[in-house]
Structure 1
């Protein structure tokens, strides 16, 4: 009997001193063992999977290929178009101006962008007519950041690619477009809204949006590979994009058809705040570590406690099902964002970790779309508190 009590005492002590080891018992040491089957079945081309806490990178693993046809293995420093993950970074920059008292979230957009004065909302619409009326209130900065402004996804002028218009011209086209719904009542995922907030940032700060991002966010954080215009060396590290082939059983390469080529062209490509950034897993992790730490990174404060809370808690009304903060999706115990080609960043404060999932996929054959969830489950079991 005494030996049983002694054994139980030892177990309790081990669990107290090494709780993570107990929690991760039976969890594979490597994410590769979880992800490799998807590659072997041609359901996933390749991925960089990263886990970090607020202080350090805990794990960076690669699987599969950056270039299937060329047989190029996925490198840890591969570049990816992170698309709508840009939204959270743009919103963070906007919140810096809120912290400085230069703007308020509930200010009307037209206070800074007069072209929005008199914007109407669609009251009725069918194939034969459109009836416009005055909205109950002008759209606000908060509403353009949380997708309830009524602005459309994009304007009819943003063709054929999303990066073809200068920011000022793109935003002016939104002002000329009637609101699709009454402000504050419906969720309409909107690149136009995030871009509008970025244009306000330009007007208020007196800096080009891309310069503000570089000087106030990317450079101070040390995000050396995050850019709207990847240079030749970075393009060489860009993972190719894949989607299901005609048979839906294998993978086929396709271009980033929402963007203008060449990607290095600074004369004809313009920074798109809602989805134009390229980055690496490591760079994106730095941004997420700052958020995991409440707006601070390596002793430097990027956001106040109040600004961080606004950014990362639900801002959408309870009458809509979508839970969205400011430039970030918000879940019950996480916040983060995905990108058009299946990249993802997720911050989990209770677990004390961030997960970065870097792939370039416009869809998956078979069970390929389940790979991200498999990685996240592994990360939480292996490193979560």
Structure 2
């Protein structure tokens, strides 16, 4: 169990990039566009009780939650500790490793270029990244020496298939045994944790490896959005970190979102905790397999569009509110409304991911899954492996986020599930104004 947990952490702990980032400069205090989310706190004792219960029971070192409805932040609180040993209280401004929440950001980044006419969704990826031309699909695999045979792909991978995880690309370590062996042998990283190297180099290697299945035939979670990040670089002519900073983070006022944090912000990065196998006591996650939990403090060069960002709950809430607004925030339009609609509706046809559908970068809640989840049909959501989750409920006009930082995480499913139900109750009731 412990080895499996370590393997999974390592899996989502590798590296990606494009141009050297020796030290990320702190962004200027002045925001090009002020947050349009405004604070209108309301008393939410049930949410308080839920989060406090998990912290006081030692199930989580700390937790931050934010809920906004109609552009008004009705709940924003932190519980527990940033540093358990030092008993340092967790602050709402803390910076978290958001891992796969990066995928939505990179996907939006690519769709900014779509709005400019730089590509079409059904363009072959090989049109822009030659290594992905003439794709081959895995036919047989020999586990003894990781050798394999292939057959030609029936069609080229498209950009739409990257955004929907139907390309046939998988993940190292947490993927199938075939993907683990083939990617490991080729030195393909998984996205976070080892900041050296370049995205261009890894994606070029990846493009020459076999797909796990024919393009478009299955939903397979994997490195597709890392390829999206590389497409952003090629189509824009900028490193991924620079493009996102100029085109998303600065316009949205996301001053605390980085692949690699400037030194002035290092102290705000919360420690990553793990559970002791026997006692379940919370202890800092140690470096393992070449991955250090302090990777956001490195002067890294690998910019993973699939898992590399760290951020605050406030920054990501602004990003989500922009989507809920149909692509506009703070008086500035970033995406066309039709593009947001395209991204947040089913793009995988009859295929499924966990009973739900998938858009261009987001899981989409179906009618069958919605009642038990607490979310409305058509809500879009995702999360990160280190304990962060988010969703947007267009029917209720809600943006909600819950951030913890623990891995392995025995409460990875039950706490977010309870939180979603409590949030639904809160936003469909008429709570009294908060006294603080």
Measured against the shorter chain, the TM-score band is 0.7 to 0.9
Tell me how far apart the structure 2 counterparts of residues 75 and 292 of structure 1 sit (CA, whole Å). 26
Q: In 2, are the aligned partners of 1:107 and 1:140 still within 8 Å (CA)? A: yes
Q: In 2, are the aligned partners of 1:53 and 1:289 still within 8 Å (CA)? A: no
Tell me how far apart the structure 1 counterparts of residues 229 and 296 of structure 2 sit (CA, whole Å). 21
Tell me how far apart the structure 2 counterparts of residues 29 and 321 of structure 1 sit (CA, whole Å). 34
1:302 counterpart residue number: 334
Residue among 132, 137, 140 paired with 1:116: 132
1:316 and 2:329 are equivalent in the alignment:
no
Classify the secondary structure of the residue corresponding to 2:340: helix
Q: In 2, are the aligned partners of 1:49 and 1:60 still within 8 Å (CA)? A: yes
Residue among 337, 345, 348 paired with 2:390: 345
In structure 2, relative to structure 1, the CA distance for the partners of 1:169 and 1:106 (3 Å cut) is same
How far off its partner does 1:226 sit?
0.5
2:18 counterpart residue number: none
Classify the secondary structure of the residue corresponding to 1:152: coil
2:422 counterpart residue number: 378
How far off its partner does 1:61 sit?
0.7
1:10 counterpart residue number: none
Tell me how far apart the structure 2 counterparts of residues 320 and 380 of structure 1 sit (CA, whole Å). 25
Tell me how far apart the structure 1 counterparts of residues 292 and 278 of structure 2 sit (CA, whole Å). 26
How far off its partner does 1:143 sit?
0.5
Residues 52-81 of structure 1: CA deviation (Å, up to 9, x unaligned): 135232211111111111111111101100
Classify the secondary structure of the residue corresponding to 2:259: coil
How far off its partner does 1:50 sit?
0.5
Pick which of 150-159 and 296-305 moved more: 150-159
How far off its partner does 1:95 sit?
0.8
**Taking structure 1 as the reference length, what is the TM-score of the superposition?**
0.87
Aligned pairs (5 A) from 1:248-287: 249-255=280-286, 258=291, 261=294, 263-266=296-299, 268-287=300-319
Query: Whose radius of gyration is greater, 1 or 2?
Result: 1
Classify the secondary structure of the residue corresponding to 1:66: strand
Classify the secondary structure of the residue corresponding to 1:218: helix
Residues 318-360 of structure 1: CA deviation (Å, up to 9, x unaligned): 1444422112111132112100101011101111111111110
Residue among 129, 144, 158 paired with 2:188: 158
2:325 counterpart residue number: 293
Classify the secondary structure of the residue corresponding to 2:98: strand
Q: In 1, are the aligned partners of 2:158 and 2:167 still within 8 Å (CA)? A: yes
In structure 2, relative to structure 1, the CA distance for the partners of 1:353 and 1:319 (3 Å cut) is closer
Pick which of 212-221 and 246-255 moved more: 246-255
1:147 counterpart residue number: 165
Pick which of 309-318 and 341-350 moved more: 309-318
How far off its partner does 1:259 sit?
5.3
Tell me how far apart the structure 2 counterparts of residues 116 and 99 of structure 1 sit (CA, whole Å). 24
Classify the secondary structure of the residue corresponding to 1:177: coil
Tell me how far apart the structure 1 counterparts of residues 212 and 322 of structure 2 sit (CA, whole Å). 35
Residue among 328, 333, 341 paired with 2:362: 328
Tell me how far apart the structure 2 counterparts of residues 240 and 70 of structure 1 sit (CA, whole Å). 12
In structure 2, relative to structure 1, the CA distance for the partners of 1:256 and 1:278 (3 Å cut) is farther
Q: In 2, are the aligned partners of 1:347 and 1:353 still within 8 Å (CA)? A: yes
Pick which of 288-297 and 213-222 moved more: 288-297
Segments of structure 2 that go 5 or more residues without pairing to the other structure are: 1-41, 173-182, 367-376, 430-436
RMSD: 2.2
Residues 171-230 of structure 1: CA deviation (Å, up to 9, x unaligned): 10111211111100011111x211111211111111111111000000000000011111
Tell me how far apart the structure 2 counterparts of residues 248 and 316 of structure 1 sit (CA, whole Å). 43
Residue among 75, 79, 104 paired with 2:91: 75
Q: In 2, are the aligned partners of 1:43 and 1:368 still within 8 Å (CA)? A: no
Residue among 222, 229, 234 paired with 2:265: 234
How far off its partner does 1:282 sit?
0.5
1:244 and 2:260 are equivalent in the alignment:
no
Q: In 1, are the aligned partners of 2:387 and 2:412 still within 8 Å (CA)? A: no
Classify the secondary structure of the residue corresponding to 1:282: helix
How far off its partner does 1:243 sit?
2.2
1:364 counterpart residue number: 409
